[in-house]
Structure 1
Amino acid sequence: MAGRLKTPTGRYGGRSAEERQAERRRRFLDAALQLFGDSPGYRSTTVAALSEAAGLSTRQFYEEFRTLEDVLAALHLQVNDWAEEAALAALVDARDLPLAERVTAVFRAYAANVTSDPRRIRITFVEIIGVSPRLEEQRLARRARWVDFICAEAAAAAAHGEAAPRDYRIAATAFIGSVNGLLHDWRAGWVAATLDEVVDELVRQLLGILRPAGWCPLPARTACEDEREAR
């Protein structure tokens, strides 16, 4: 019968079929992170090579995935999930801090996670590009998720008088492009700066978007208005 091979059921070696399947999937993704994210890259990797690197058989590969593209898709989502989890955890820890400090904490956590392993950057910003319409749709969907994240935090800041009230979607989309491009170029060695300097620049850009020239945070609004009138 055509289709994927049936996954075994029952316990073996003290582990359930679901646990064994999760372990196989993890091993395939770990191997893909190395082969796709380093050498030889996604386009030069075969099912046989990936299976060998994972210490598993090609039969086991087809029990978990249909194609190598499925592996790349899963790995791309995993890398983005790691970065999102780091950013959200930092946001929770910094929730009571002023806007500038919150933004800095979130972007330090995000940048540290993404750049901690050059293979993650290659998966996110290089290998995923131009593979297929399906993966392009996935890539844009994850980018839109980051845009939504920034828009939501900007709206919350505006509601508390910390940022100018406006529609931030276009600005957030442009900013995400800056984040992706700058982190990729920095990791590739094309930007002569420390990671802290890169993050500081991104924070300045975002604060400039949230607090344009001539606008003041709510607690300082009266003093700002008096200063402008005195000019």
Structure 2
Amino acid sequence: MAGRLKAPTGRYGGKSAEERQAERRRRFLDAALQLFGDSPGYRGTTVAALSEAAGLSTRQFYEEFRTLEDVLAALHLEVNGWAEAALLAAAAESENLPLAERATAIFRAYAGNVTADPRRIRITFVEIIGVSAPMEKQRLARRARWIDLVCAEVAAAVARGEAAPRDYRLAVTAFIGSVNGLLHDWSAGWVDATLDEVVDELVRILLGILQPSGPPLAGA
């Protein structure tokens, strides 16, 4: 299909065309969160099934999206956006706290948001893997944004004298991998710990990066 079908214009039922379009899009995304994030998953969902779950027609689907992959891409960005908003709000509220307390508040907010709904975990860490080259590009770009956010917090810690000045990007990249892996494994029931314990362990890892104890490595 070359592109989306044109949606009708004008007011209907007291709503503008833009409002009706936004409502339809929201219904498709909500239905996708349920089907992609639970059962049958992204690969087991058809346009017809998604449209039925949204209470809309396939014609209306193609007015909003070209493919199911477009829906997954939009949902992946939205779920990450929710988590980022929670993280930034916590960072602003804890700006004047000591490093350990600030890091705990930030990662508790992030973890609480992303694990609040198991479907978000699956969209973030499972369903997006191996879909296509464009989706992999989006996944890596979104991970790079998380790395940038943590690097910005680390830079602020350096400016306050809470961490030694150096290039932390490689270490933060490894840390983000730990965050993703541990939260996924915890949500899957493979980690016998509470969410607070998981967050505390992640904070200890970060503080170990910023405030290492013991002698430096040979050649450092």
Q: TM-score range by the shorter chain?
A: over 0.9
The change in CA–CA distance for 1:2 and 1:32 in structure 2 (over 3 A counts) is closer
- Give CA-to-partner distance per residue, 1:183-224, whole Å, 9 cap, x none: 000000000000000000000000111111269xxxxxxxxx
- In 2, the alpha carbon distance for the partners of 1:94 and 1:191 equals 28
Counterparts of 1:210 and 1:7, CA distance in 2: 53
| Unpaired runs of at least 5, structure 1 | 216-231
1:211 counterpart residue number: 211
Task: With the length of structure 1 as denominator, give the TM-score of the two structures.
Answer: 0.91
Query: Could you tell me how far 1:3 is from its partner in structure 2?
Result: 3.5
Q: Deviations over 1:89-129 (max 9, x none)?
A: 00111111111111000000000000000000000100000
Task: Show CA shifts across 1:58-90 (max 9, x none).
Answer: 000000000000000000000000000000000
Whole-angstrom distance in 2 between the partners of 1:66 and 1:2: 8
> Contact 1:37–1:119 at 8 Å: present in 2 too?
yes
Distance 2:146 2:160 in 1: 22
1:19–1:203 CA distance, 2 compared to 1 (3 A)? same
Q: Which residue of 2 aligns with 1:167?
A: 167
Query: In 1, are the aligned partners of 2:3 and 2:66 still within 8 Å (CA)?
Result: no
* 1:7 CA drift (Å): 1.3
1:112 matches 2:117: no
Aligned AA (1:85): A
User: Secondary structure of 2:4's match?
Assistant: coil
Matched with 1:221 is: none
| TM-score, normalised via structure 2 length | 0.96
CA distance in structure 2 between the aligned counterparts of 1:2 and 1:125, rounded to whole angstroms: 30
- The whole-number CA distance in structure 2 between the counterparts of 1:4 and 1:36 is 22
Corresponding position of 2:128: 128
Give the deviation of 1:2 after TM superposition: 5.5
Tell me how many residue pairs correspond in the alignment. 215
Task: Give the aligned partner of residue 57 of structure 2.
Answer: 57
Report the 3-state secondary structure (helix = DSSP H, G, I; strand = E; otherwise coil) of the residue aligned with 1:14: coil
Structure 2: runs of 5+ lacking an equivalent? 216-220
Quick check: 1:164–1:212 contact (8 Å CA) kept in 2?
Answer: no
Q: Partner of 1:3: helix, strand, or coil?
A: coil
Which deviates more from structure 2 when the two are superposed, residues 154-163 or residues 81-90? 154-163
Whichever residue aligns with residue 96 of structure 1, its letter is: N
What is the match of residue 178 of structure 2? 178
Amino acid across the alignment from 2:4: R
Contact 1:151 1:172 in 2 (8 A): yes
- Deviation sequence 1:17-76 (CA, Å, 0-9, x none): 111100000000000000000000000100000000000000000000000000000000
CA RMSD between the two structures:
1.2
Which structure has the bigger radius of gyration? 1
Following TM superposition, by how much is the alpha carbon of 1:4 offset from its aligned partner in structure 2, in angstroms?
2.1
